Amino acid sequence: MDLGIAGRKAIVCAASKGLGKACAMSLGREGVELVINSRTAETLEATAEEIRQDSGAKVTAVASDITTKEGQAAVLKALPNPDILINNAGGPPPGNFRDWEREDWIKALDANMLTLIFLIKATIDGMIERKFGRVVNITSQAVLSPIEVLGLANDARSGLTGFLGGLSRNVAKHNVAINNLLPGPFDTDRFRTNVGLAAKRAGTTYEATLKVREDATSAGRVGYPYEFGEACAFLCGTHAGFIVGQNVLMDGGGFNASF
Ligand code: NAP
């Protein structure tokens, strides 16, 4: 299917690895011009080159911390008027809420709620003027089904989701579609680190913990990042303008609900 977005321009945040990278790869294959971001310049440039080799897409790499004002400004300077914004940032660390101080909560809100809102604020009016815009926010299955040790993510992402529920319905008439993609377990560095930590906490092996995670999905496996990237590209496509303010869960059927 031709998604009809060749020649469009996209910002993909936190994209040197994992799900952000997968989204950038898929958009590159659709002929989208990319500005990709993450903190570590070397890894980011390697990913930019991988995407160029893969699809021939024009890719600009901006190494910055997207959760800071300066980091956001650097990305927006490279592409002030994107047609597509993929909002993403590293997730907060797992832990016990008894150990978290105010600073920990504020940091999580900054990274997983306010950063995304400020990037939308900076780009949405241009999208409205041009009568085309697509925003995909990478959130988490935890929005629907909380993961206790990821309390810092549960709260920030739920706040973001509530805010965007309203905003998405306000801008849809301008052909600007804002949606959230909710990953369940996907085979990325972060996922592998979390499985390792969980195994350590439970005093068991990595393999045994991974098997539990796989069995918790109906698909009996974890997700491949490219599957996530392709779904993201579809939500950015010309044909997705009628999908508005949705929380699209990709968890291999792990969340048990008919609706
Ligand atoms: P990942 O494989 O660890 O990749 C994270 C990417 O984000 C890297 O490119 C990293 O590069 C970049 N990054 C991290 N913090 C950043 C910052 N402050 N500014 C700019 N770039 C930053 O993680 P992932 O699995 O793709 O996860 C992506 C998001 O999905 C996270 O928010 C995570 O919580 C969420 N999620 C993932 C899963 C899963 O199973 N994978 C499930 C639910 C939710 P640098 O370190 O060089 O900056």
For 41-55, the pLDDT digits (tens) are 999 999 999 999 999
Residue 208 alpha carbon to ligand 1 centre in Å:
24
Kind of pairing between the strands at 176-183 and 9-12: unpaired
Quote the tokens at residue 237.
């496509």
Q: What is the pTM of this model?
A: 0.97
Asked whether the beta carbons of 188 and 19 are under 8 A apart, the reply is yes
pLDDT at 91: 87
C-beta 183 within 6 A of ligand 1: yes
C-beta 228 within 6 A of ligand 1: no
Alpha helices in 79-188 (DSSP H): 102-109, 115-130, 151-171
Quick count: other Cβ atoms within 10 Å of Cβ 130? Answer: 13
d(CA 91, CA 99): 17
d(CA 66, CA 93): 17
d(CA 212, CA 205): 11
pLDDT at 147: 87
Ligand 1 atom nearest the C-alpha of 150 is 34
* Bridge partner residues of 38 (DSSP): 63
Flag whether pLDDT at 17 surpasses 90.
yes
**What average pLDDT does range 21-32 have in this prediction?**
98
d(CA 184, CA 56): 30
C-beta 89 within 6 A of ligand 1: yes
Mutate which of 13, 16, 19, 118 for ligand 1? The one with the most ligand atoms within 8 Å of its CB, which is 19
Ligand 1 atom nearest the C-alpha of 223 is 40
Residue 37 alpha carbon to ligand 1 centre in Å:
11
Mutate which of 11, 12, 17 for ligand 1? The one with the most ligand atoms within 8 Å of its CB, which is 17
C-beta 38 within 6 A of ligand 1: yes
**Long-range pairs for 224-228 at CB < 8 Å and ≥24 separation?**
224/186, 224/187, 225/18, 225/19, 225/21, 225/22, 225/186, 225/187, 225/188, 226/22, 226/25, 226/26, 228/19, 228/22, 228/23, 228/181, 228/183, 228/186
Q: Which pLDDT tens digit goes with each residue over 52-110?
A: 999 999 999 999 999 999 999 999 999 999 999 999 999 888 899 999 999 999 999 99
Q: Across the chain, what does the average pLDDT equal?
A: 97
Asked whether the beta carbons of 112 and 159 are under 8 A apart, the reply is no
Give residue 211's pLDDT band: very low, low, confident or very high (50, 70, 90): very high
Among 28, 40, 144, 157, CA closest to 92: 157
pLDDT at 48: 98
Residue 191 alpha carbon to ligand 1 centre in Å:
9
